[in-house]
Chains A and B, each alone.
Chain A
Amino acid sequence: MILAVLFANSDGNILIERFHGVPAEERLHWRSFLVKLGSENLKGSKNEELHVASHKSVSIVYTTIGDVCLYIVGKDEYDELALAEVIFAITSAVKDVCGKPPTERLFLDKYGRICLCLDEIVWQGLLENTEKDRVRRLIRLKPPVEP
């Protein structure tokens, strides 16, 4: 299960968050834990360089894309490897929507699109689509091009 997908700006303010199977009372804890993790490790890291950590039985993969930090938390079958796949799908889709690694402003400008991409990629804690081209078409309700 993918427990959380969270976008934050570089100051740690949440831009988009999606939790699956995390009780409401634990969300604040996760939010601050992830933001702290990012503030300790993401400063000065390269764009889209993946960081990875494990906390108790869950894995966390996180990165920066442009000015935005992205965190993904998973457990069981979504270990660090599967999460790397998920984060790759999300970052590619975000770059595709924004045309480049986004500034925070650009990210917010494309907010609706990004929400739709996320909806195509992760659905209630499960990875549904991975390819950015397909996601790009799906959010416009266009069928994917078959290879």
Chain B
Amino acid sequence: MPRSLAGGDLAVPEMAQPYMKKDDDDEDVEYSPFFGIEKGAVLQEARAFHDPQLDVRRCSQVITKLLYLLNQGETFTKVEATEVFFAVTKLFQSSDAGLRRLVYLMIKELSPSSDEVIIVTSSLMKDMNSKTDMYRANAIRVLCRIIDGTLLTQIERYLKQAIVDKNPVVASAALVSGIHLAQANPETVKRWSNEVQEAVQSRAPLVQFHGLALLHQIRQNDRLAVSKLVSSLTRGSVRSPLAQCLLIRYTSQVMRESSMNTQNGDRPFFDFLESSLRHKAEMVVLEAARKITEMDVTSRELTPAITVLQLYLSSSKPVLRFAAVRTLNKVAMTRPLAVTNCNVDLESLMSDQNRSIATLAITTLLKTGNESSVDRLIKQITNFMSDIADEFKIVVVEAIRSLCLKFPLKYRSMLNFLSNSLREEGGFEYKKAIVDSIVTLISEIPDAKEIGLLHLCEFIEDCEFTYLSSQILHFLGNEGPRTSDPSRYIRYIYNRVILENATVRASAVSTLAKFGALVDTLKPRIFVLLQRCLFDTEDEVRDRATLYLQTLSGEVPIGNDEKDAKDFLFGSFDVPLANLEASLRTYEPSEEPFDISLVSREVRSLPLKEKAAPGKRPPAAAAAPAPVSTVDAYQKMLSSIPEFSGFGRLFKSSEPMELTEAETEYAVSVVKHIYDGYIVLQYNCANTIEEQLLEDVTVCVDASDAEEFSEICSKPLASLPYNSPGQVFVAFEKPEGVPAVGKFLNLLKFTVKEVDTTTGEADEDGVEDEYQLEDFEIVSSDYMLRVAVSNFRNAWENMDPESERVDEYGLGVRESLAEAVNAVINILGMQPCEGTEVVPKNARSHTCLLSGVFIGNVKALVRLSFGLSGPNEVAMKLAVRSDDPEVSDKIHEIVASG
């Protein structure tokens, strides 16, 4: 990197290096006109601005030098800047046009402070009313750059005039100033609406462009006004291609919003967009094509847009090729079939000089290609990979992974490609993307397993990333023992124990032990290897080796048989790791051992906001602890209350549900705690009135609409002072393990005492009072825990097919498919798996996978298949498997009644 860049502060002496002429004559050395330029000297020269007889040429040179200094990142101190600014203002005396133009620029560059502005405003105001158009235009631009809100009202009248000035430069200057001013002074600029409207009708193309931009900015929050603006302009003629592009954007925005509202798919402006495809300006055509592809259109409506994009793929202009391939790439994500016609053109772009274009072409082809072209494609990509950067490579690797899942028969060539890429140079993110892809392919395509594992083994022989080595060893331990010849992997694993750092060695010991535990024929040999690990220099490695040797040889009895020992060593936790981590953090060392069965098994979904930001999602551990520790805290708190300590294990606690309106005197919310045979209602109460103290606070619960529940005890709150929340509990008994439902009516009862806010003392006498709370219900989903499974297909197939219950439901007309999917997920209260809760845009059908644990510890899995028939008429097929067929039926009942 050049010196002057490295520091960010581009000092002039460094910058001003001898200029080497690159022509034939190398000896001819020229110097930059700014060679040896120094801030102090230039500031000295600026004194020439004060001369009574101005030397215009000299002044212009000094201003150029000042501009150069500013552009090189040189900063002026406050005093220097003020001095230069005052000197520059003197130059208004000169009537030389060239110098005046430089003065305008210089003032903008110096951006004087508000107390200095006053010096130039009168000169600028004078220029703004000058007869010379160009003085007016420039004065407007300078003024708008430097003034504040109060001054703006003074010159508003002139600006409004300028907007409709017959000179297009003056009008544009005022309009662009308006766009900038609208950010800080939207109300003022809104008043210019009529003038701007007139400017939009201007014959000058640029005035129309700037006018349209400003008018839209003024009206952007008024949907109807934007719609009117668009419909009037789409009928008329817009002269400037730039304005036409804006109009296309606004039109598509109006269409999007109106189709969302009316739901009838009416597209009144579609013809305008389609006609724009035949516009003479390329920019307009591409914009129209892009907007059409972003809309929910039929294949027939899409075709013309794709055709023009295809034409631009072979354009001689790189920008057009880029724009076209970028748009097609987006289309290929949702509608790959629509793009297949362009495959030939896309293939020729793979050798494009511009790597961005080539990468986009490849990833598009990977989405649209068919099975027969895969091998050829892979071959071409291999040549290409060596000369692109890591971030492009990751995009390609991810595209290859999806392609392989689409054409599983082609796994061989794709795995080879991935493994070759592993051997090439590359950073961690790139290698991780490849390893993740291979792991996914192995998990999804059974035939790819052995070959894929061997590729991974070869990689860890020479892997510089500890994280990846450990990940692969763990994966190898799970998958390797179940292959036809597990012994072939042992060499690779044991090599790690000899050659690697402590973290990898420890992982390798665990992997060895898994092979020993699962493959009887290997067990004696594994024992020998593990015994060698007992002499490792690292505690962790030795500890692991000792543990595995003892448990696998049966010296330390765990459970009843060998299976228990294996489960103990290698079984997966049935609690989410984030929950376990949170519980361990809150565990205080004591006589009482840590009990893993008390850790919550519920997966709390991340707040929607975080989900919506792909790539920026914080690590799960960082997001999860807060809610998890609340669940843990509930268990701890409830079991410390004697009345509830005999209720057993807490199955689930709901989110708090508000029972009062916001900002009322008392704020009450309820949390439903579900046990096998009981429920506990926790009312969180807060007193928001400083002049009151509440005592003997109880909640009277009327459960007459919840027949299966009977109240057994209640725990009132002795006192509820201002701003110090407390809890009232009411417990109900219900039939053991039965998901009883019902409605609960609530009334808050208490004694109010007046409080003297100055002393904080309460009156002795109080008045009894009550406060009506909202009702709430216990519903079936309260008995369902959101518990994820890592591999839904395996889990589904491992469940008894006899327990499966299938039925079909008509959901009627819904807002969208995604809305219907979410509604069913909410009714069931189950955990969506494998990202299937996300419905792709424009999808006509969708399958959603859910998993959960129903009360009584019954695992349940649900497959929901949705389909659209007619305009937004949603039909659904629901298949349930569970450990208990009755629960399968129950889930159908929940959906039927929901």
Do A and B come together as binding partners? yes
A52 contacts B354, C-beta separation under 8 Å: yes
Give residues of chain B (508-543) contacting chain A, Cβ–Cβ below 8 Å: none
B96-109 interface code vs A (CB 8 A; 1 in, 0 out): 01101110010010
Asked whether A41 and B319 contact (CB < 8 A) given A77-B246, A115-B64, A126-B176, the answer is no
Q: Smallest Cβ distance from A20 to chain B, in angstroms?
A: 10
A102-117 interface code vs B (CB 8 A; 1 in, 0 out): 0111001101100110
A61 contacts B319, C-beta separation under 8 Å: yes
A143 contacts B167, C-beta separation under 8 Å: yes
Q: Smallest Cβ distance from A56 to chain B, in angstroms?
A: 10
Bound-state CA distance A71–B320 (Å) is 17
Bound-state CA distance A12–B2 (Å) is 6
Bound-state CA distance A143–B354 (Å) is 40
CB < 8 Å neighbour of A32 from B1, B173, B317, B320:
B1
B239-255 interface code vs A (CB 8 A; 1 in, 0 out): 00010011001000000
Which residue of B is nearest A126, CB measured? B176
A143 contacts B34, C-beta separation under 8 Å: no
CB < 8 Å neighbour of A115 from B67, B73, B282:
B67
B133 contacts A105, C-beta separation under 8 Å: no
Bound-state CA distance A68–B548 (Å) is 67
B642 within 8 A of A: no
Which of B3-11, B594-602, B702-710 is the contact stretch? B3-11
B164-202 interface code vs A (CB 8 A; 1 in, 0 out): 000111001100100110000000000000000000000
Give residues of chain A (93-145) contacting chain B, Cβ–Cβ below 8 Å: 103-105, 108-109, 111-112, 115-116, 119, 123-124, 126-130, 134, 138-144
Bound-state CA distance A84–B281 (Å) is 13
Which of B14-22, B372-380, B742-750 is the contact stretch? B14-22
Residues in B whose Cβ lies below 8 Å from that of A81: 245, 282-283, 286-287, 319-320, 323
Bound-state CA distance A119–B322 (Å) is 28
Q: Smallest Cβ distance from B287 to chain A, in angstroms?
A: 7
Bound-state CA distance A82–B108 (Å) is 25
A54 within 8 A of B: yes
Give residues of chain B (47-76) contacting chain A, Cβ–Cβ below 8 Å: 60-61, 63-64, 67-68, 71-73
Asked whether A52 and B176 contact (CB < 8 A) given A81-B283, A141-B100, A143-B134, the answer is no
A108 contacts B33, C-beta separation under 8 Å: yes
CB < 8 Å neighbour of A49 from B72, B249, B282, B318:
B318
Give residues of chain B (134-166) contacting chain A, Cβ–Cβ below 8 Å: 134-135, 138, 141, 145
B319 contacts A67, C-beta separation under 8 Å: no
B108 contacts A77, C-beta separation under 8 Å: no
A111 contacts B356, C-beta separation under 8 Å: no
B71 contacts A14, C-beta separation under 8 Å: yes
A58 within 8 A of B: no
CB < 8 Å neighbour of A127 from B15, B101, B242, B354:
B242
A103 contacts B21, C-beta separation under 8 Å: yes
Interface size, B (range): 35 or more
Which residue of A is nearest B20, CB measured? A104
B355 within 8 A of A: yes
CB < 8 Å neighbour of B317 from A50, A83, A138:
A50
A112 contacts B60, C-beta separation under 8 Å: yes
Which residue of A is nearest B283, CB measured? A81
B681 within 8 A of A: no
CB < 8 Å neighbour of A80 from B97, B169, B213, B323:
B323
Bound-state CA distance A84–B72 (Å) is 26
B322 contacts A52, C-beta separation under 8 Å: yes
Q: Smallest Cβ distance from A114 to chain B, in angstroms?
A: 10
Bound-state CA distance A129–B179 (Å) is 15
CB < 8 Å neighbour of B101 from A41, A116, A134, A144:
A116
A2 within 8 A of B: no
Residues in B whose Cβ lies below 8 Å from that of A41: 354-355
B64 contacts A111, C-beta separation under 8 Å: yes
Asked whether A13 and B5 contact (CB < 8 A) given A112-B102, A115-B67, A116-B105, the answer is yes
A27 contacts B317, C-beta separation under 8 Å: no
Residues in B whose Cβ lies below 8 Å from that of A129: 169, 172, 206
Give residues of chain B (243-301) contacting chain A, Cβ–Cβ below 8 Å: 245-246, 249, 282-283, 286-287
Which residue of B is nearest A53, CB measured? B356
B26 within 8 A of A: no
B232 within 8 A of A: no
Asked whether A140 and B97 contact (CB < 8 A) given A79-B323, A115-B64, A124-B180, the answer is yes
Give residues of chain A (1-43) contacting chain B, Cβ–Cβ below 8 Å: 11-17, 27-28, 31-32, 35, 41
B32 within 8 A of A: yes
Asked whether A140 and B101 contact (CB < 8 A) given A41-B355, A81-B287, the answer is yes
B79-102 interface code vs A (CB 8 A; 1 in, 0 out): 000000000000000000110111
Residues in A whose Cβ lies below 8 Å from that of B206: 128-130
B179 contacts A126, C-beta separation under 8 Å: yes
Bound-state CA distance A109–B135 (Å) is 26
B132 within 8 A of A: yes
CB < 8 Å neighbour of A35 from B5, B283, B287, B356:
B5
Residues in A whose Cβ lies below 8 Å from that of B138: 141
Which residue of A is nearest B241, CB measured? A85
Residues in B whose Cβ lies below 8 Å from that of A13: 2, 4-5, 10, 15, 17
A75 within 8 A of B: no
B30 within 8 A of A: yes
A111 contacts B318, C-beta separation under 8 Å: no
A32 contacts B323, C-beta separation under 8 Å: no
Bound-state CA distance A113–B169 (Å) is 19
A77 contacts B34, C-beta separation under 8 Å: no
B101 contacts A139, C-beta separation under 8 Å: yes
A85 contacts B242, C-beta separation under 8 Å: yes
Q: Smallest Cβ distance from A131 to chain B, in angstroms?
A: 9
Q: Smallest Cβ distance from B97 to chain A, in angstroms?
A: 4
Bound-state CA distance A61–B249 (Å) is 21
A105 contacts B19, C-beta separation under 8 Å: yes
Residues in B whose Cβ lies below 8 Å from that of A130: 206, 242
Which residue of A is nearest B285, CB measured? A81
Residues in B whose Cβ lies below 8 Å from that of A140: 97-98, 101
Residues in A whose Cβ lies below 8 Å from that of B496: none
B172 contacts A119, C-beta separation under 8 Å: no
B101 contacts A80, C-beta separation under 8 Å: no
CB < 8 Å neighbour of B8 from A28, A82, A126:
A28
Bound-state CA distance A146–B176 (Å) is 20
Bound-state CA distance A84–B283 (Å) is 9
A104 contacts B71, C-beta separation under 8 Å: no
Residues in A whose Cβ lies below 8 Å from that of B246: 77
Bound-state CA distance A79–B21 (Å) is 36
CB < 8 Å neighbour of B326 from A27, A51, A54:
A54
Bound-state CA distance A140–B99 (Å) is 9
A14 contacts B4, C-beta separation under 8 Å: yes
A15 contacts B71, C-beta separation under 8 Å: yes
B134 contacts A142, C-beta separation under 8 Å: yes
Bound-state CA distance A35–B3 (Å) is 13
A50 contacts B167, C-beta separation under 8 Å: no
A116 contacts B102, C-beta separation under 8 Å: yes
A141 contacts B64, C-beta separation under 8 Å: no
Q: Smallest Cβ distance from A60 to chain B, in angstroms?
A: 9
Identify 8 residue pairs between A and B in the complex whose beta-carbon atoms are under 8 Å apart, listed by A's number. A13-B17, A35-B5, A105-B19, A115-B64, A126-B180, A128-B176, A134-B169, A143-B167
**With A126-B179, A128-B173, A139-B101 already in contact, 12 other A-B pairs whose C-beta atoms are closer than 8 Å:** A13-B15, A35-B1, A41-B354, A54-B356, A80-B322, A81-B286, A82-B283, A105-B21, A108-B19, A116-B105, A140-B98, A143-B167
Binding site for A on B (CB under 8 A): 1-2, 4-5, 8, 10, 15, 17, 19, 21-22, 30, 32-34, 60-61, 63-64, 67-68, 71-73, 97-98, 100-102, 105, 108, 132-135, 138, 141, 145, 167-169, 172-173, 176, 179-180, 206, 210, 213, 242, 245-246, 249, 282-283, 286-287, 317-320, 322-323, 326, 353-357
In order of increasing CB-CB distance, the 6 nearest A-B pairs are A112-B64, A141-B97, A28-B8, A141-B134, A84-B319, A52-B322
